[in-house]
Structure 1
Amino acid sequence: MVKKIIVLGGSSGIGKATSQRFAREGWRVLVASHDLQECVETVNGLEGKGHIACKVDVRDEKDLIRLQQLVKAEFLTFDTLVNTVGISQSYPAIDSDFSAWDESLQVMLYGSVKSCRLLIPLINDGGRIIHVTSIHFERVAFGSSAYGMAKAAITQFTRSLAMELAPRNILANTIAPGFVNTPMSVKKDGKNEVETEWFKDNYIKYDHLPLKRVGRPEEVAGVAWFLSGPDASYMTGSVVVVDGGLTITF
């Protein structure tokens, strides 16, 4: 029987690479993101047949209910949920507009919780839940309070899922990437942070990044593939760090 996966944020960056990897392995893929055109383009480029594109803003309960109904109609059940939804915004912890600061939590934390509440009842026993977070779940950068709090909270939420869903043998884990070259690497000024002299100086020249290169989306997708497979059958509540060694340095 063909296995099925839902990839939230599946039309760009790590999510797109994950969609491509699972399609290449013969799975049916439902690609969901806030941009329908990107979803359709991603689905049209996937290997195999039976893939689905769906526009979903994880802040919008109507969108999530529509997604749930689509899954019921087209998949009936599914095997893996990968959530790569993320936004990268920098706001001071104190001196910033609260609604702007709160956007990271609304999208990443509450969007994750709402998505899981609607989709997990449809997942098969023995299924897998994978949240792609960030090394910011335990690291701090200037202006990253909301982002880091959202990633830390998602990590703890995933651990709660691991505990509560264990009776159904549903495994829940997180992947915490470091620097990965994705559209999120491009900041408001239009510059890709991993191509700047600041990045090359701080992280490569002075050995803060032992592998001396930025990660590729497919390298994170490969970890999602592993976590969905039989070799990860005794892993739940874990955080898999994929950062080129960044967090072992000081």
Structure 2
Amino acid sequence: MKIALITGGSRGLGRNMAHHLAARGTDILFTYRSRKDEADSLIEELKQMGRKAVALQLDTGTTSGFDAFAGQVRDALNANWGRERFDFLINNAGTALYSPFTDTTEAQLDDMFNIHFKGVYVLTQKLLPLINDGGAILNVSSGLARFSYPGSSAYAAMKGAIDVLTRYQAVELGARRIRVNSIAPGAIATDFGGGRVRDDAAMNAAIAGRTPLGRVGLPDDIGGAVSLLLSEDAGWINGQRIEVSGGIHA
């Protein structure tokens, strides 16, 4: 039995990832920032699937809390599974920013850096002693690190940095047989960024028109890819950026 830790697992893509991994027999540790009700409902859903799930509160943009969080993870593993380590870390938590380059403030840039790069970098460092040798790390990037849409320079730049970090982690953690990849979703119909892709009919249609498969992405498209990349079937995929975007701007 495997255990996955998903940051930002209570909603959106993280929640869908939890469902797909649970369907493959993986138990779930996940974080939420403020909506405990959403976390509790996910725990119940996963229990109904026959899986064990534990939620921990975490602000992934505030590194000062990471030492305490690592201790909470250690305690949760011992209390719920009688284990000292987990198998998969999915660095998923994040927020959107839509702002032209000329208007983006230093405070907004710092926020994007703290959440999408520094937080991922430092949290992974803190949790490494708790990841099993032979496990895996999956960093969530974005299609916007490959193609450019106005207003996403700060967010996309951090995701580009995540892709570079992923390659270095794969090289440096290879001695422990920990695979590290990044998954780069395209435009997905969720509540991310205020639900723009899901709820704005004109935007949805425009993206679908640019996508060879003729639609925007759905959460299941990403959750399914995550469960595959963390499975033994993908055991020789390492240090790669896997874009899951339906071929947009191919």
TM-score with structure 2 setting the length: 0.90
How has the CA–CA distance of structure 1 residues 50 and 67 changed in structure 2, closer, same or farther, with 3 Å as cutoff?
A: farther
Which consecutive unaligned segments of at least 5 residues does structure 1 have?
Answer: none
User: The residue matched to 2:226 in structure 1 has which SS?
Assistant: helix
Q: CA offset at residue 49 of structure 1? A: 4.2
Q: Is the 8 A contact 2:190 2:198 kept in 1?
A: no
Which residue does 1:53 correspond to in 2? 55
Q: Which residue of 1 aligns with 2:80?
A: none
Cα distance in 1 for partners of 2:6, 2:171 equals: 22
Instruction: Work out whether 1:147 is the aligned partner of 2:155.
Output: yes
Cα displacement string for residues 64-109 of structure 1 (whole angstroms, at most 9, x for unaligned residues):
2232112212321010011111211112323332102331111111
Pick the aligned partner of 2:197 from 179, 193, 200.
193
What secondary structure, in the 3-state scheme, does the structure 1 residue paired with 2:210 have?
coil
User: Corresponding residue for 2:13?
Assistant: 14
Residues in 2 aligned to 1:62 and 1:102: alpha-carbon distance in whole angstroms: 15
Q: Would you say how many aligned residue pairs link Structure 1 and Structure 2?
A: 241
Residues 1:202 and 2:210 aligned together: no
Give the whole-Å Cα distance in 1 for the aligned partners of 2:249 and 2:32. 30
Between the aligned partners of 1:65 and 1:218, the Cα distance in structure 2 is 33
Of 98, 103, 108, the residue aligned with 1:95 is: 103
Deviates more, 1:159-168 or 1:61-70: 61-70
Report % sequence identity: 29
State how far apart, in whole Å, the 2-side matches of 1:197 and 1:15 are: 24
Distance in 2 of aligned mates of 1:140 and 1:199: 15
Contact 2:204 2:216 in 1 (8 A): no
* CA deviations over 1:144-191 (Å, ceiling 9, x no partner): 11101110001111111001001111000011111111111526xxxx
Cα distance, 1:121 vs structure 2? 1.8
Alpha-carbon offset, residue 25 of structure 1? 2.1
TM-score normalized with structure 1 length: 0.90
How far has the Cα of 1:122 moved from its partner?
1.1
**Cα root mean square deviation, aligned:** 1.7
Q: Secondary structure at the match of 1:129?
A: strand
After superposing on structure 2, the runs of 4+ consecutive aligned residues of structure 1 that deviate more than 6 Å are: none
CA distance in 1, matches of 2:21, 2:206: 35
